[in-house]
Structure 1
Amino acid sequence: MVTYQITEEPMWDQEMGRYIAFGVCAYLEDETGRREVAHISDVFFCAETAARFVDKCNRLELDVDQLYDAVEDILLDDDEREV
């Protein structure tokens, strides 16, 4: 079974300087234990938004192969709301 968690990451950017970003990490849990199978850094600026996304991934039992598409979709949706 794959489970998703938020990662909190201190970041630095030439234009923004230091900031905290939130990423998504996927873990595969089986009889041998738990291991990281995917990690996408610097996705969200807001911890609450990241938590809602991760909760939805876990609730829907998102396949890890779909994680990058799901992140892309949420980023595109956010861009459309800002326009």
Structure 2
Amino acid sequence: MSTAHDLTIVSLEVPSDYPVERGDLSLALAGAELIDLMEAGTVELDGDLLRPVSRAASGDRLLDEAASLLGGDPAESVTDWLW
């Protein structure tokens, strides 16, 4: 199970007095996906830029699709990729 799946399950199970805004949840899920991409070794950080490292399939269709969205040069900033 990916970090984004785990985060979604946790957010649905924990009652809160503070509603989560749609943009906040989207950003958290995108950040979780980025963590998974980095752990899978498909991207790395070069300062605040994301660079693809490997196009090897991870076995997770959604994670592989996200990795394919990262281009080569010019590199994309983390902020641009998350939004």
What is the TM-score normalised by the length of structure 1? 0.30
Greater strand share, 1 or 2? Answer: 1
Greater helix share, 1 or 2? Answer: 2
